[in-house]
Structure 1
Amino acid sequence: MSGEIENGDWPTFGWVDDIRPALAEAVANGKPAAFATLYRVEGSAPRGPGAQMLFTLRDDGDVRATGYFSGDCIEGDVAHHAAQVVADGEPRRLHYGLGSPWIDIRLRCGGALYILLERVESDDAAVAELLRHARERRPCIWESDGKTRAVRDASGPLLTYSEDPLQIARRYDPPRRLIVSGGDPGALAAAQLGALGQFETILVRPQGPQAPPPFAVAQYLRSAPASALQDLGVDRWTGYLGATHEDEHDLGGCLTALRGGAGYVGMIGAKSRAQGRLKALEALGATKEELDRLHLSPGIPGLGKSPWEVATGIVAEIMQALNPAHERA
């Protein structure tokens, strides 16, 4: 059992922030996994408390990693301990940086990280509950002491913990979701950037081609945006971007998203069209509070007008709006 990270020279595993899809894959494969939670940080660090990693063992003994803690300072060592946790089932508490017993492992940021490693089985009831809450788009709290786990309906801080004995409580929100309606280069650029940015991305193109888009999305729908949003359901962890440039589609989609409490609602279009669109939405029954949440001509000014430049500014704005640091619960 080598404990080496698969493709460790190119740590693209650190692009993933939400470990639940990897956990669902481990469950589907019937494999145990090592679940790592950063529960305490002292000083500076790339990630804050609540960051997580998941480790599964390959048949050759290498470790498949998902997530990151330190920008490649400690991930290899955590993977080594994770392989041991999967093998013997005993949880481990790891301490890196200031005051650590492993003086040969340095953190470039100069802080200290405290991590709980625990083995989770593919048939663990708490894991099943965690994944069910994600599918049903309901927030929950994962509680664990390293051996006993439970999931309960709740919201609250991202992570709390108590020492002696260690007990952590980690909040999970529904996966961030981006719904883009449209089929021009700008809409497609926004959808692809959303997918690359780890959004559960859904592309809606009314009466669009039968063939799916030439890049991966969670779903491709050919219905009208308002109908698609009603079927999908909208919540505050959802961003919606109307980019068909047809008011019959974009206005209906935006109104449905606003009434559903979407965390971000935007509509691409010239500023000269803004007042007319606001009046049209008001005539459809939109309230002042709803219209105040609407982003017309969305994005970050000054990036440029090419599809990728416009999409980059819009997706950045959506990321900021759906960031847990801006939570409203």
Structure 2
Amino acid sequence: MLQIATTLRAWSAEGRRVAVATLVAVDGSAPRGVGAALAVDDTGRVAGSVSGGCVEADLVAECEQVLAGGPARRRRYGVGDWLEPGLMCGGTVEVLISDVAALDDAAWHQVERAAAGLDATLSLDALGRGCADDPVVTLSVRRPRHLVVVGAVEFGVALGALAARTGFAVTVLDHRATFATKERFPDATAVVVGPPGAWIAERGWAPDDAICVLGHDLGHDTPAILAALRAGAGYVGAMGSRATHERRVEALRELGATTAEIARLRSPIGLDLGGSTPEHTAVAILAEVLAVQHGATGLPLSRTGGPLHR
């Protein structure tokens, strides 16, 4: 439910009644994890999902029954046959379908926090109400992952747009006001003009944040890289050729970077996908960011073993 909090808040502000199907348990392989949700409002709009599309149509009908005055209910989906909806991947999921109106003020406050990009936690009982004791499920979200683009170049335009679509809060940094504009980066949460190294060093970063240096100005890029390596971000990458990387390494050493710090720098940036356009390069960079954050290999799934969904 908290994963679609922005939609819930918007529909509520319009005065719509809304039912939500929230994934509360997963056994085995399933496309989505606990907390995934699908919402239906009283005009028939649908947002979100709880699977890869296997059971959504059935859940829309369940939500419509709740909106028509029916009680909250739980549905369990396993491997279906041709007569009933089910999962193709072999797992089993349990879904709670409830009316958003069941949430009291304290519970709705958590929805508001999630919609505002803040940490939020919500425990639900079997009727979809907020509760403190013996919940059916406890849902949690944290503030969005941040992706910082250093260098307002065309590669940054493509990366910022793609990262925003995948849930990152994107900040663009550049010392040149001509290039660092909201018009060029409409999907960015913030566009900052100024020395990027100082801006990065003044803030705290989390292991699931990423800082991508895409500029070609050694004087500004090197302090930004060093600040990023020391600031706690889980991913720090820099664009450039292997020769550029070697020059950056020497410049980093001159600024006092240690061997261990330099070893954390991912440069040349991105996975080897073969493309060279800004859009293709953005895919390669974001793919590496996600692989690092999830502790994945970046290999083709056909060459790996074990379950697909962790």
TM-score by length of 1: 0.74
Q: Please report how far the alpha carbon of residue 192 of structure 1 lies from its aligned counterpart in structure 2 after TM superposition.
A: 1.9
SS of residue paired to 2:266: strand
Query: 1:232 Cα deviation (Å)?
Result: 6.0
| Pair 1:21-2:6 in alignment | yes
Alpha-carbon contact 1:182-1:188 (below 8 Å) kept? no
1:212 shift after superposition: 1.8
Q: Which residue of 1 aligns with 2:92?
A: 112
- What residue is the counterpart of 2:46 in the other structure? 64
For 1:272 and 1:55, how far apart are their aligned partners in 2? 51
Q: 1:93 aligns with which of 57, 70, 74?
A: 74
Amino acid at match of 1:307: P
Say if 1:178 and 1:77 are closer, same or farther in 2 by CA, change over 3 A: same
37-46 vs 237-246, which moves further: 37-46
Matches of 1:228 and 1:108 in 2, distance apart? 47
By how many angstroms is 1:176 displaced?
2.1
Give the AA of the match of 1:55: A
Indicate which of 25, 30, 35 corresponds to 1:45.
30
Which residue in the other structure is 2:19 paired with?
34
Residues 91-143 of structure 1 show CA distances to partners (whole Å, capped at 9, x for unaligned) of 3211123489x9532433344321122333487323323543675754x5432
Matches within 5 A, 1:1-329: 18-26=3-11, 28-29=13-14, 31=16, 33-47=18-32, 49-58=33-42, 61-66=43-48, 68-86=49-67, 88=69, 90-98=71-79, 103-121=83-101, 124-129=105-110, 131-132=112-113, 135=116, 138=119, 141-146=121-126, 147-149=128-130, 167-209=136-178, 210=181, 212-213=183-184, 215-230=186-201, 233-323=204-294
Report Cα offsets for 1:66-92 as digits up to 9, x if no partner.
2x2232221122122223334548432
Q: Distance in 2 between matches of 1:213 and 1:99?
A: 48
State the AA in 2 paired with 1:62. G
Distance in 2, Cα, partners of 1:96 & 1:127: 28
1:294 is paired with a residue whose SS is: coil
SS at 1:241 equivalent: strand
Query: Which segment is superposed worse, 284-293 or 167-176?
Result: 284-293
Q: Tell me, what secondary structure is at the counterpart of 2:279?
A: helix
Name the CA shift for 1:30/1:104 in 2 (closer, same or farther; >3 Å): same
| Residues in 2 aligned to 1:29 and 1:232: alpha-carbon distance in whole angstroms | 37
Structure 1 residues 165-174 or 245-254, which shifts more? Answer: 165-174
1:196 deviation in Å? 2.7
Write the distance in 2 (CA, Å) between the matches of 1:324 and 1:90. 41
Structure 2 CA distance for partners of 1:137 and 1:299, relative to 1, 3 Å? same
Give the drift of 1:62.
Answer: 0.7
Q: Distance in 1 between matches of 2:118 and 2:227?
A: 18
Preserved CA contact (<8 Å) 2:117 2:144? no
Aligned-partner Cα distance in 2 for 1:128–1:104:
37
2:215 alignment partner, SS class: coil
Separation in structure 2 between the aligned mates of residue 89 and residue 197 of structure 1, nearest angstrom: 35
Q: Which amino acid aligns with 2:41?
A: L
Unaligned runs of 5+ in 2: 298-310
Task: Give the conservation status (yes or no) of the 8 Å contact 2:3–2:141.
Answer: no
CA–CA separation in structure 2 for the residues paired with 1:64 and 1:96: 20
The answer to whether the 8 A contact 1:145-1:166 is kept is yes
Distance 1:172 1:305, change over 3 A: same
Amino acid in structure 2 at the alignment position of 1:315: L
Measured after TM superposition, the shift of residue 145 of structure 1 is: 1.8
Q: Cα RMSD over matched residues?
A: 3.4
When residues 126 and 322 of structure 1 are mapped into structure 2, their CA distance, relative to the original with a 3 A threshold, is farther
Per-residue deviation, 1:291:
2.6
Distance 1:271 1:134, change over 3 A: farther
Cα 1:150–1:315 change in 2 (3 A) is farther
Change (3 A) 1:302 1:309: same
Maintained 8 Å contact 1:234/1:261: yes
SS of equivalent residue, structure 1 residue 296: coil
Give the AA of the match of 2:93. L
Counterpart AA for 1:74: V
